[in-house]
Structure 1
Amino acid sequence: MKVNINNPVLFKELKLRFRSPKSFVGLLFYLVAMCLFVFGFIFLTMNITGVSYFRPTESMLLFSFLAFIQLGLVLFITPGLTAGAISSEREKQTLPILLTTSQSSFQIISGKLLSSVAFLMLLTVAGLPIYSLVFLFGGISPMDFVKIFFFLFVTLLAIGSIGILFSTLIRRTIVSMIATYGIMLFLSAVTGFLLIIVMQVALFNFNGVSSPPPSILGHILASINPAVLFATLLSPAVGESVIEMTQIKLPIWIGYLIFYISITVLSLWLAVKKLRVNMKKSK
């Protein structure tokens, strides 16, 4: 089967998004905020410690703050960019015209998703010079940098795919956006709260004579929570404590990849299948 890599939907969405002054104004404010945070952190740290240099441990702390800021950016901006991709076309009554073109359902869905992903990736790449300041003070390896951005990309694709799915299934953009933000909050906040409860219950029932029993539910909750994963990537001690609490030796990043890649594939497959569900073939 011949694969057509030409995607007019993607090209059109990229032109509309990147020709808009709002996109570059948003990028400017983001970079200004990041610069103020980084230089403010360095200035306050030097004043508090009373020294005129930046220690590697403080550099690692700054890198951790930047990584969690990027994670928050992905979690809270991605639903807003993707949850209205298809439903807004339906509200403007342009979706039937789009569906009658020669573009396949996959080209439409992937074009809408990749245009949103491209904008968020632009925000991430534009912040690389700010990240480079961290390397000047040591304490961070290039592999730490690569791992953080790889898992950011995986999370971005998964949340974006969920937004595209809800935008396809739900007719109204506001409802689709609420549903997407609800899933995002469940994965990022509710799973963390449930993890604390499960671990506390396990410790309460533990008699202390032997090692605590394995907690499969606790390991699953830790594996699907982005904040827990990033904490383990930034500090190996956190990963060791999670393994010690759950008594399951499998690293949580493996479960994270399996879960979020599965979510991405399943969401895109359902979105492609449901995009033309109401269209009847003429006999």
Structure 2
Amino acid sequence: MMNHFSNPVLLKELKLRFRAFKSFSGLMFYLVVLCIFVAGFLLVYTQFTGTGFFRPSESFAMFAVLSMLQMGLVMFITPGLTAGAISTEREKQTLNILLTTTQSSSQIIIGKLLSSVAFLILLLIAGLPLYSLVFLFGGVSPSQLITIFLLYLLTLIAIGSIGIMFSTITKKTIVSMIATYGAMIFLAGITAFFFFIGMSMEQMSMAQGTSTNQTPFSPITYFWASINPGALMLTILYPDLATSLESLVGISLPIWIVYIIFYCLITILCLTIAIRKLRANMKTNR
């Protein structure tokens, strides 16, 4: 039974990744960035303001900005860990050897993905002591922290799946990384741009009196906001923003429902494509 569920590719990737010096140097860089931010934030709110103490409202502000910063770091690091998972094996000419083993395509793809996800989870766990400062000063509930970390997990799995897919269907690691970062920029930046464009057009339409409905209804604008990680995080941190968004777009469905469905579908689709194209690429390269 244990042999049926074992994944040698995952075990090999975990050993190689966690023994590499660049992994620990990356972890150190990640923690240094967070420490600099937390120290700077505390310095600004205590010394420069002249108050000499830290209030719970300021603690929540630090938690919100720290959460947004960590989300940005996770989205920046994830493509670099997953975009070269398969293409690197192809460039080293070890992919054909890996495919001749008894491991199935799904075991290879999922093993590559889970090894990267495990390292990213280590980054999130390593940053927990910094979050403990927030609980020391108050203003944040444990449920908010758990929700934020579940959001991190879903987002990094989805972006990692996109990176694995591009790494499988492309022959060069640099092309895969560019495509993965492009998809990440679309999800984080272009969707926000489309959302603001949609809101501007809706407000102009209502101001000119061309809208036939008394209440706004913008499903496309709502969709752009629903798949944006920053928008979802802001609505989780500030529930009033979620209420304002519902009134602006005219849809009362919480955006986290659409977010979960969309990113789960993206994950399944990308992993399915990667599994199907893994051995097809080997036949093409012969």
Distance 1:58 1:23 in 2: 33
How far apart, in 1, do the equivalents of 2:96 and 2:137 lie?
55
- What residue number does 1:61 align with? 61
What is the distance in 2 between the residues matched to 1:77 and 1:110? 19
Quick check: 115-124 or 24-33, which moved more? 24-33
Corresponding residue number in structure 2 for 1:155: 155
Map residues 130-141 of structure 1 onto 2, 5 A cutoff.
130-141=130-141
* Paired position in structure 1 for 2:264: 261
Q: Does 1:251 align with 2:254?
A: yes
Q: Which residue of 1 aligns with 2:167?
A: 167
Amino acid at match of 1:32: V
CA distance in 2, matches of 1:269, 1:216: 28
Tell me the equivalent position of 1:81.
Answer: 81
Deviation at 1:279, TM superposition (A): 5.5
Q: Which residue of 1 aligns with 2:243?
A: 240
Which moves more between the two structures, 258-267 or 199-208? 199-208
Q: Deviations over 1:184-236 (max 9, x none)?
A: 10110000001000010011001469643310001100000011001101101
In 2, Cα distance between equivalents of 1:47 and 1:72? 28
Cα deviation, 1:7-47, whole Å, max 9, x if unaligned, reads 11111111111111121122122222212211221121112
Letter in 2 for 1:225: N
Per the TM alignment, residue 278 of structure 1 is displaced from its structure 2 partner at its CA by: 4.6
Are the aligned partners of 1:203 and 1:212 in contact in 2 as well (CA < 8 Å)?
no
Identity among equivalent pairs (%): 58
Gaps of 5+ in 1: none
Q: Which residue of 2 aligns with 1:26?
A: 26
Give the counterpart letter for 1:111 in structure 2. G
Partner in structure 2 of residue 43 of structure 1: 43
CA distance in 1, matches of 2:169, 2:97: 18
How far apart are the structure 1 equivalents of 2:243 and 2:111? 40
DSSP 3-state at the match of 1:249 = coil
- 2:82/2:116 contact within 8 Å kept: yes
What amino acid is aligned across from residue 237 of structure 1 in structure 2? D
Judge which range, 210-219 or 259-268, deviates more. Answer: 210-219
TM-score after normalising by structure 2: 0.94
Query: Match for residue 192 of structure 2?
Result: 192
Alignment correspondent of 2:110? 110
Distance in structure 1 (CA, Å) of the matches to 2:69 and 2:3: 38
Structure 2 equivalent of residue 122 of structure 1: 122
1:89-104 matched pairs, under 5 angstroms:
89-104=89-104
CA distance in 2, matches of 1:44, 1:279: 56
Question: How many residue pairs were aligned?
Answer: 280
Structure 2: how far apart are the matches of 1:25 and 1:278? 34
More helix by share: 2
1:270, distance to aligned residue in structure 2 (A)? 1.1
Query: Cα gap change, 1:278/1:81 in structure 2, threshold over 3 Å: closer, same or farther?
Result: closer
8 Å CA contact 2:216, 2:248 repeated in 1: no
Alpha-carbon shift at residue 53 of structure 1 (Å): 1.6
Structure 1 residue 274 corresponds to structure 2 residue 274: no
Match of 1:230 among 225, 229, 233: 233
